[in-house]
């Protein structure tokens, strides 16, 4: 729903006040693309995982425990970056079709466990939809 002219004027006044009050913050908010930053972290995490795997293999080839442990740590850090930034990098939101809808009595993570179907049921439903068409 589009904003009315009065609401647009108020929004512009708020924006000007923000720029006047804290220009550095305003510029970071204006140019801040969270998805782009998360994609960048995702790429860096993937690169770190590959480099860590190479170090781990290098530590196994040249029997060096220190190199192997360092490789494992780098690989683990890269994998952690990938896992932590995947949702925001791909734009997968809580309300997307594949995720459970949030309810009033949700637990940790924002998902209701009672509404989530077991994997077997989801696969059966997908199979039925595919062949019923």
Q: Confirm whether pTM is higher than 0.75.
A: no
Assign 16 to helix, strand or coil. Answer: helix
Coil, strand or helix: which one is 20?
Answer: helix
Q: Say if residues 42 and 88 touch (Cβ distance below 8 Å).
A: no
Mean pLDDT across 3-9: 84
Can you tell me the distance from the alpha carbon of 130 to that of 70, in angstroms, rounded to the nearest whole number?
Answer: 47
Give residue 31's pLDDT.
62
Rounded to whole angstroms, the Cα distance separating 115 from 111 reads 9
When pLDDT is cut at 50, 70 and 90, the band that residue 59 belongs to is: very high
Q: Name the pLDDT band for 94 (thresholds 50, 70, 90).
A: very low
- Phi and psi at 100, nearest 5°, equal -75, 145
Q: Tell me what the mean pLDDT of segment 24-34 comes to.
A: 70
Tell me how many domains the chain contains: 1
Domain that holds residue 60: 34-90
Flag whether 42 is in a domain. yes
Q: What is the pLDDT of residues 101-113, one digit of tens each?
A: 444 444 444 455 5
């Amino acid at each position: 729903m589009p904003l009315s002219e009065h609401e647009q004027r108020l929004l512009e006044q708020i924006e000007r006040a923000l720029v006047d009050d804290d220009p550095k913050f305003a510029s970071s908010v204006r140019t801040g693309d969270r998805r782009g930053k998360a994609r960048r972290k995702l790429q860096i995490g993937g690169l770190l995982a590959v480099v860590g795997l190479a170090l781990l293999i290098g530590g196994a080839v040249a029997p060096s425990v220190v190199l192997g442990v360092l490789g494992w740590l780098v690989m683990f850090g890269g994998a952690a970056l990938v896992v932590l930034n995947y949702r925001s990098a791909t734009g997968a939101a809580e309300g997307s079709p594949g995720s459970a809808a949030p309810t009033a009595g949700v637990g940790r993570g924002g998902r209701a466990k009672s509404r989530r179907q077991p994997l077997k049921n989801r696969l059966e439903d997908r199979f039925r939809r595919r062949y019923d068409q």
